[in-house]
């Protein structure tokens, strides 16, 4: 069985089950497979459905789940909740293929992992004969929150609490979260940005007040710091490659590039896992918005927080502390836990770190960093709509813009698959403005206008939002965080006691 180790201490070893239940390692590190020994040739999966590919790929990494368990998780997750039969369809555009990851229940790519994570967690929980309540703490820059609330809604033995930045998320994202249903859910806005929310959630794992409040309650995470969230994301790198193979666009062994709109580095890291498993990937293009800390890191080897935080029209990428980069540092340093821990310490204490020249070069062999300004992002949405009648959201536009810039700079004409991560209807006002249509009303007027102007379908879960009653309105200061989390943990323990 593959052991999962902490990026900060390799002696901290657990099974896949335990890693999924815990989320974060007790030393603050992230769990990562000790080694990826399996090799999966995509040509061997030719002709398979998304669900069949998912079973093959997930079982290669989370290998302590039985075939039956994984089959139940996969078929329960990827069903009629998705409004596309292929789950992840491809759309051909002039500059490559859009991999449409937003056909799930909340219209963002987070659904791919968060429809299956609660099932993986529940299966692990049963296997380990537990009787505690798993309390999911989630920080969101906009999309993870709703996808996690939807995935964990009324799942037995779990409770979920979501923290989102009061300013920054789109009006639709906010309404999606504030109207959430379910008896085990809580949504709290924070006067701060995503990094503040993520720091709060991580800190709860070691805070003494929170730890003292845990009576038969175990804290876990639905963020991409949880390995159970990352592994299901490897699947679509395979499925899209296999689709191109099956359509005869590429041949066995041909390389492709992927361009990924990046925030917390989870999605693109799953692409790197795919490469490690044997998918012929030439380059992973890391696309950022004006919060371009990752572009600078990939190009210079220095990661520095000494920069302004920008609120952009691609809010799910408004992140300066990109958690999953820690996993890449571990992998690229030959699993050096001491080095990874010391870089993370530098980041926390000095606000920056620099990797060695050798490591920087190893990273640049695979990763390219590009970023797009707000103007570029808007103009790429407009051009694609006007020239090809394909409507994309601002995150996807950042990626398409990066893919074009990379191709121009490098001359590399390897087939490029661009990850399309959200429905344009989650960001109606900005998309409408980008295609040059006036709108003075609210976000839902913009939704109507966007539909009228483009004739593209509005996802049902977004169309029905307007009439839904708001359930959650609480706003807290960052300084109250640990106190609020401790109180919520006591409430969860009490509720579990009452139903037990
Ligand atoms: C979360 C998100 C991203 C960034 O993904 P990471 O895994 O955080 O890098 C990009 N686009 C959208 C729409 C998202 O919701």
Q: 208 C-alpha to center of ligand 1: Å?
A: 31
CB 50 within 8 A of CB 88: yes
Closest residue by CA, ligand 1 atom 2:
316
Say how far apart CA 409 and CA 413 lie, in whole Å.
11
Q: Is 142's pLDDT higher than 90?
A: no
Bigger pLDDT: 205 vs 270: 270
More confident residue, 357 or 497: 357
Rounded to whole angstroms, the Cα distance separating 486 from 204 reads 8
- Given the CA of residue 224, which atom of ligand 1 is nearest to it? 7
5 burial via Cβ count (<10 Å: 0-12, 13-18, 19+): buried
CA of 260 to the centre of ligand 1 (A): 9
User: pLDDT tens digits for 159-193?
Assistant: 999 999 998 888 999 999 999 999 999 999 999 99
Mean pLDDT to the nearest integer, 399-414: 98
Residue whose CB lies within 8 A of the most ligand 1 atoms, among 30, 103, 258, 267, for a mutation test:
267
Q: How far is the CA of 398 from the centre of ligand 1 (A)?
A: 11
CB neighbours of 334 closer than 8 A, spacing ≥ 6?
none
Give the distance (Å) from ligand 1 centre to CA of residue 263.
6
Own/partner contacts of 432-440, CB < 8 Å, gap of 24 or more, are 433/378, 434/377, 434/378, 434/379, 434/381, 434/382, 434/394, 434/397, 435/381, 435/382, 435/385, 435/386, 435/391, 436/382
Q: What is the pLDDT of residue 497?
A: 85
In the predicted model, is pLDDT for residue 500 greater than 80? no
Percent of the chain topping pLDDT 70: 100
Q: Which of 261, 292, 402, 420 to mutate to test the pocket of ligand 1 (most atoms within 8 A of CB)?
A: 261
Please give the angle made by the CA atoms of 223, 221 and 265, to the nearest 5 degrees: 25
Nearest ligand 1 atom to the CA of 395 is: 11
Is 90 exceeded by the pLDDT of residue 53? yes
- Report CA(243)–ligand 1 centroid distance (Å): 23
Return the best residue to mutate from 317, 319, 425 for the ligand 1 pocket (most ligand atoms within 8 A of CB).
Answer: 317
* CB 240, CB 90: distance < 8 Å: yes
Q: Average pLDDT, stretch 72-94?
A: 97
Q: Can you give the pLDDT at residue 48?
A: 98
- For residue 93, the cross-strand partners are 96
Q: Which residue's alpha carbon is at the smallest distance from atom 1 of ligand 1? A: 316
Q: CB-based burial of residue 67 (10 Å sphere; 0-12 exposed, 13-18 middle, 19+ buried)?
A: exposed
- List, for residues 94-103, the tens digit of each pLDDT value: 999 999 999 9
Contact between 222 and 117 under an 8 Å Cβ cutoff? The reply is: yes
Pocket of ligand 1, beta carbon within 6 A: 108-110, 143, 224, 261-267, 316-317, 395, 421-422
The residues facing 293 across adjacent strands are none
Q: How far apart are CA 324 and CA 30, in angstroms?
A: 8
What is the pLDDT averaged over residues 411-428? 97
Of the pLDDT bands very low, low, confident and very high (cuts 50, 70, 90), residue 499 is confident
- CB-based contact 106:461 (threshold 8 Å): yes
CA of 236 to the centre of ligand 1 (A): 15
pLDDT bracket for residue 116 (50, 70, 90): very high
C-alpha 316 – ligand 1 centre gap (Å): 5
**8 A C-beta contact, residue 65 and residue 123:** yes
Encoded tokens for 266: 């989870």
Question: Does the pLDDT at position 387 exceed 80?
Answer: yes
Q: What is the mean pLDDT of residues 286-312?
A: 97
**What's the farthest any 2 CA atoms get from each other in the chain?**
64
Q: Please state, in angstroms and rounded to a whole number, the distance separating the CA atoms of residues 83 and 95.
A: 25
Q: Which of 263, 264, 265, 431 to mutate to test the pocket of ligand 1 (most atoms within 8 A of CB)?
A: 263
Q: 317 CA distance to ligand 1 centroid (A)? A: 6
Question: In whole angstroms, what is the distance from residue 218 CA to residue 26 CA?
Answer: 12
Residue pLDDT, tens place only, 186-221: 999 999 999 999 999 999 999 999 999 999 999 999
Specify the residue with its C-alpha closest to ligand 1, atom 14: 316
Please say if the pLDDT value at position 423 is more than 70: yes
Give pTM, 2 decimals: 0.96
Q: Which atom of ligand 1 is nearest to the CA of 102?
A: 13
Per the DSSP assignment, residues forming a β-bridge with 158 are 134
Q: Which CATH class is domain 90-106+230-463?
A: alpha beta
Rounded mean pLDDT of 23-48?
94
CA of 459 to the centre of ligand 1 (A): 19
Residues 6+ apart with CB under 8 A from 215: 490, 493
Residue 272 Cα to ligand 1 middle (Å): 16
Average pLDDT on 473-489 reads: 98
């Amino acid at each position: 069985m593959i052991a999962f180790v902490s990026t900060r201490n390799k002696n901290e070893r657990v099974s896949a089950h335990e890693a999924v239940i815990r989320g974060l390692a007790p030393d603050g590190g992230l769990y990562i497979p000790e080694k990826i020994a399996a090799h999966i040739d995509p040509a061997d999966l030719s002709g398979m459905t998304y669900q069949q590919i998912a079973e093959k790929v997930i079982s290669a990494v989370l290998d302590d789940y039985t075939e039956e368990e994984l089959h139940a998780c996969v078929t329960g997750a990827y069903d009629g909740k998705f409004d596309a039969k292929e789950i992840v369809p491809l759309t051909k555009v002039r500059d490559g293929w859009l991999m449409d990851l937003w056909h799930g229940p909340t219209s963002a790519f987070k659904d791919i992992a968060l429809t299956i994570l609660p099932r993986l967690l529940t299966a692990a929980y049963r296997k380990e004969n537990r009787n505690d309540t798993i309390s999911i703490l989630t920080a969101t820059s906009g999309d993870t929150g709703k996808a996690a609330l939807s995935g964990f809604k009324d799942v037995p033995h779990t409770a979920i609490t979501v923290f989102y930045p009061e300013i920054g998320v789109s009006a639709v994202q906010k309404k999606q979260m504030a109207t959430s249903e379910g008896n085990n859910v809580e949504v709290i806005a924070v006067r701060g940005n995503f990094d503040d929310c993520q720091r709060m959630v991580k800190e709860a794992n070691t805070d003494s007040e929170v730890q003292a409040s845990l009576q038969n309650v175990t804290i876990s995470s639905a963020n991409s710091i949880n390995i159970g969230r990352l592994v299901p994301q490897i699947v679509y790198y395979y499925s899209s490659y296999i689709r191109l193979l099956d359509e005869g666009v590429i041949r066995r062994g041909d390389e492709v590039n992927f361009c990924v709109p990046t925030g917390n580095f989870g999605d693109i890291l799953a692409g790197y896992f795919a490469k490690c498993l044997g998918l012929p990937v030439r380059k992973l293009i890391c696309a950022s918005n004006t919060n371009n800390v990752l572009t600078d890191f990939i190009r210079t080897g220095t990661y520095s927080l000494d920069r302004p935080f920008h609120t952009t029209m691609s809010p799910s990428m408004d992140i300066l502390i990109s958690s999953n980069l820690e996993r890449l540092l571990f992998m690229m340093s030959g699993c050096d836990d001491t080095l990874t821990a010391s870089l993370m310490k530098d980041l926390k204490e000095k606000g920056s770190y620099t990797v060695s020249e050798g490591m920087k070069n190893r990273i640049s062999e695979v990763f390219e960093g590009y970023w797009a300004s707000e103007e570029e992002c808007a103009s790429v949405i407009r051009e694609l709509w006007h020239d090809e009648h394909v409507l994309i959201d601002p995150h996807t536009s950042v990626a398409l813009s990066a893919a074009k810039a990379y191709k121009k700079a490098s001359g590399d004409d390897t087939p490029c698959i661009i990850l399309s991560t959200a429905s344009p209807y989650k960001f109606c006002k900005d998309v409408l403005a980008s295609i040059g249509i006036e709108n003075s009303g609210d976000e839902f007027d913009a939704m109507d206008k966007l539909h009228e102007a483009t004739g593209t379908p509005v996802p049902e879960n977004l169309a029905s939002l307007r009439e839904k009653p708001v359930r959650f309105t609480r706003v807290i200061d960052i300084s109250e965080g640990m106190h609020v989390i401790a109180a919520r943990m006591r409430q969860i323990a009490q509720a579990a006691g009452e139903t037990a």
